[in-house]
């Protein structure tokens, strides 16, 4: 018989070092601290056991929207790719959803929940009774030697990386500091201004992310590129843990693009995380410029569970409204 109980965030430390139960960076104490700092809600970690054996942990955030209590694991707009379960490879995660749903609805009094777990496939949900929305991203296999990786990139990507190495700019790994967060956001503003737009998240989100990792920075790679005079011209953030790293964001000043910093930051991050055991880089999304690295297209579901069906309609309507107002704001 399955049992579910809430545990505190400090217990996540023991999960990170458990070789049988794999964890992504989005299910660490640091990432949940970031989401709490950014006002996304209250962290919830559920331990699922059968007898004396721990099968899995479920990670999410409880918050209120329009007076409705919601479980997000994660929720859209959190700059968090996936959450869901930390589980043994032999555990059927799909079978755990109903158990978690009952606890979330009955004990936490939520009326609605979303789960994105990349280990649950769209194919496995064909006969599943809950609504799901396919999510797409590009994922690059980085478990290869430098030469093989480099040759897999498109020719224009290879050329830009070589140009960076010749043109005199310097790349460095830096600590996650508030100064770095502000440099990143200043450059991000410049990126969006090029398209007559404004960033779709505020400066506070970057500061909250950086500050959450200041005491334990191993899960967050912060990169900085300076021109030959020492001016910071580009920055990027690549979180990671265990076998997967992610591209969270990158920015650079337009007037310094001749140094080709953007592709080289990816190249640096790929090698950095591969050398620390990662086998894949999730490039997060389907932007056209990411194709030059020759990634694979990966599709996985966002599972939506609602106590009342009309809440799904409300959710979809709210999403369309947000997208509309973002376009208006950027016009």
Query: How far is residue 149's CA from residue 99's CA, in Å, rounded to a whole number?
Result: 42
Mean pLDDT of the chain: 90
Check pLDDT > 90 for residue 309.
Answer: no
Within this chain, domains 2-133+301-330 and 143-278 share the same CATH topology: yes
The more confidently predicted of residues 157 and 54 is 157
pLDDT digits (tens, 9 = 90+) for 215-235: 999 999 999 999 999 999 999
Query: How would you label 195-218 residue by residue, b for 16+ Cβ within 10 Å and e otherwise?
Result: eeeebebeeebbbbbbbbbeeebe
The more confidently predicted of residues 326 and 305 is 305
SS3 276: coil
Check pLDDT > 80 for residue 125.
Answer: yes
- Structural domain boundaries in the chain: 2-133+301-330, 143-278
Alpha-carbon distance values, 312 to 3, 50, 111 (Å): 29, 32, 11
The arithmetic mean of pLDDT across residues 126-132, rounded, is: 85
| Of 1-15, 24-38, 55-69, 138-152, minimum mean pLDDT range | 1-15
Residue 51 pLDDT grade (very low, low, confident, very high; cuts 50, 70, 90) = confident
CA 212 to chain CA mean position, Å: 15
CA 69 to chain CA mean position, Å: 23
Q: What kind of fold does domain 2-133+301-330 have according to CATH?
A: Aminopeptidase (3.40.630)
The arithmetic mean of pLDDT across residues 254-279, rounded, is: 97
pLDDT digits (tens, 9 = 90+) for 69-122: 999 999 988 999 999 999 888 888 998 999 999 999 999 999 999 999 999 999
SS3 143: coil
Query: How far is residue 290's CA from residue 288's CA, in Å, rounded to a whole number?
Result: 5
| Token pair in block for residue 139 | 């994922």
Check pLDDT > 80 for residue 260.
Answer: yes
Contacts with 151 (C-beta within 8 Å, 6 or more apart), sequence order: 158
Pick the CATH number of 143-278 from 1.10.10.10, 3.40.50.620, 3.40.630.30, 3.40.50.2300: 3.40.630.30
Longest CA–CA separation in the chain, Å: 65
The arithmetic mean of pLDDT across residues 308-327, rounded, is: 56
Q: Can you give the pLDDT at residue 320?
A: 47
Cβ(141)–Cβ(296) below 8 Å: yes
First to last CA, the chain: 56
pLDDT digits (tens, 9 = 90+) for 9-20: 887 766 655 556
Q: Can you give the pLDDT at residue 311?
A: 72
Check pLDDT > 50 for residue 324.
Answer: no
Query: How far is residue 237's CA from residue 220's CA, in Å, rounded to a whole number?
Result: 7
- Pseudo-torsion of CA 285, 286, 292, 297, nearest 10°? 90
Query: How far is residue 298's CA from residue 282's CA, in Å, rounded to a whole number?
Result: 9
Q: Can you give the pLDDT at residue 17?
A: 55
The more confidently predicted of residues 143 and 21 is 143
CA count, 13 A, side-chain hemisphere, 233:
23
Q: Can you give the pLDDT at residue 52?
A: 85
Q: pTM for the full model?
A: 0.92
């Amino acid at each position: 018989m399955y049992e579910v109980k809430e545990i505190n965030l400090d217990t996540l430390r023991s999960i990170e070092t458990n070789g049988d139960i794999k964890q992504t960076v989005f299910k660490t104490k640091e990432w949940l601290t970031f989401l709490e700092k950014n006002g996304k809600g209250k962290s919830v970690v559920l331990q699922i056991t059968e007898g004396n054996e721990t099968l899995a942990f479920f990670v999410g955030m409880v918050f209120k929207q329009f007076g409705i209590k919601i479980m997000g694991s994660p929720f859209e707009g959190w700059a968090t790719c996936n959450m869901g379960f930390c589980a043994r490879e032999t555990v059927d995660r799909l079978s755990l959803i109903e158990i978690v749903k009952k606890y979330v609805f009955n004990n936490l009094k939520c009326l609605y929940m979303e789960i994105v777990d990349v280990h649950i496939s769209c194919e496995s949900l064909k006969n599943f009774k809950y609504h799901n929305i396919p999510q797409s991203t590009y994922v690059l296999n980085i478990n290869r030697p430098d030469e093989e990786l480099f040759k897999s990139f498109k020719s224009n990507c290879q050329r830009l990386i070589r140009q960076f190495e010749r043109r005199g700019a310097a790349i460095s790994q830096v600590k996650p500091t508030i100064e770095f967060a502000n440099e990143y956001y200043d450059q991000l503003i410049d990126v969006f201004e090029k398209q007559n737009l404004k960033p779709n998240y505020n400066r506070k989100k970057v500061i909250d992310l950086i500050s959450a990792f200041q005491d334990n920075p191993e899960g967050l790679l912060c990169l900085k590129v300076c021109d030959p005079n020492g001016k910071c011209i580009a920055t990027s953030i690549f979180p990671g843990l265990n076998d997967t790293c992610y591209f969270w964001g990158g920015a650079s000043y337009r007037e310094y693009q001749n140094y080709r910093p953007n592709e080289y930051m990816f190249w640096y991050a790929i090698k950095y995380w591969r050398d620390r055991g990662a086998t894949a880089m999730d490039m997060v999304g389907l932007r056209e410029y990411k194709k030059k690295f020759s990634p694979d297209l990966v599709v996985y579901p966002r599972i939506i569970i609602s106590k009342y069906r009309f809440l799904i309609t409300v959710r979809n309507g709210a999403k369309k409204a947000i997208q509309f107002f973002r376009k208006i704001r950027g016009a």
